[in-house]
Structure 1
């Protein structure tokens, strides 16, 4: 019987409903913590919505479904790969010591098989996309492969996660349009700063353990300036979101949900406390709501009105 992991919700469906034999595998893919699936999927949905809005139409539900499945699988593969690489570090950190690989529930060979299986199904989805999107999907693998090593060589592994997790914004846009344009690049840049903010908040949980294990993070670099840093990251994110709307010629209905997105981010920054890791986890878990607000803003921008937004 697998133990409940500390950063998973106590009432998560894996611990409560999944068959015991499947629980280690589901935990290897972080299906007991679905927040990460949303945070990987939403940039793709946002890219799809932006592409549709620039053509005056709502996002295609078929692309949204494909990106949901692809994000769930690639997030699972990425988490398993990260656990393979970090198994020695994870064994030293209280939050991660119970994960399937460091706890011995799943072997490294079995974990590699899991990674390969998830990637093959994701590849099947990717092959239905235009050539530019296929090339972008293949290019993302380099970012994924390098990510687990960033905490060893830079104080800003959260920035690399931003590059990785928000690649879907480019992929979603290219899947719809067959290529890239400046609005998609601006949306991608905004997502990098969004991730830099929320993953800095997430890293507060591991501040002491990371210091003992010699793992670098933005929280360790920022120290007492962490809350100010998160606020700066989120302000830059929101400015880039507005630049995305301007470059894409989005309509005035973009503004109300975009304002909710900005308010959500500012509320997070105001509540960040280094001495409150449980509160940091709660703030982190709220980010799918922020991402959904931005998705709705981009989708609503399809209505340009008589003059457009700007």
Structure 2
């Protein structure tokens, strides 16, 4: 049984060793108590006329300290006191009995491997390592053994946690006594140290204005979006991925050629066409509006231009669709 327990312990350690665990670069101290039980025990009889009976149930107290080197591995030191067990010797001839109280003192050093539930230290874990045992029944002897255990801990806060588990101590007695001890325990622990909490991320309002050339988006005097126009709208959506909670506003503009009513209607259609393409890219604009010939970027630059074709070319910057994107971004120093 003991060999099977240790074999499973080693295999489990390798199985979970690459997982994450408690708060890295931190110290943990704790205490626990619970039920103890003696396994696989045998005692030498003083003579053939004695009958021995071992009360194998008792109690245990545990103190431990650990250091978490990384987010998945730590080393620990612990002390365990197991008491409440008794050895009763009965003389088969006279019926006289002699009862000795027995207790075990077990020091342990172990590696702790864990798998997390959160970033505060809640996890399930496995531990394995050597133990140094002295088992008293009227005298004290020392013995080297081993410990393997499983458990779980739940972080009440980042510092305080509840831990429960089961430890199996192999060879927890003196040379002429054969006994393994098991301890089922529950207790509390306190963790301190570890990396400083990251500073809160400051968010700031940000705005982007994308001016798209109507000559790229649409054929002249048309509101049908071209393939190049579709690509241009997709690029705007992609550029907004750096923002949190982005909102889109779409405004269409024409040049001054034509009547005000016609230009307003055309700019509305172009704004709607771009808005529809934004929706095809998973974005619903907050505003879609046509401004007609308002807010020309050419100003009076083209006032002296002669000829319709030359004027159309000069006024090209006025024929546009603006996509205004507002959202939040991380502040940088």
TM, length-normalised to structure 1: 0.22
More helix by share: 1
Which structure has more RCO (C-alpha within 8 Å, separation ≥ 6)?
A: 1
TM, length-normalised to structure 2: 0.21
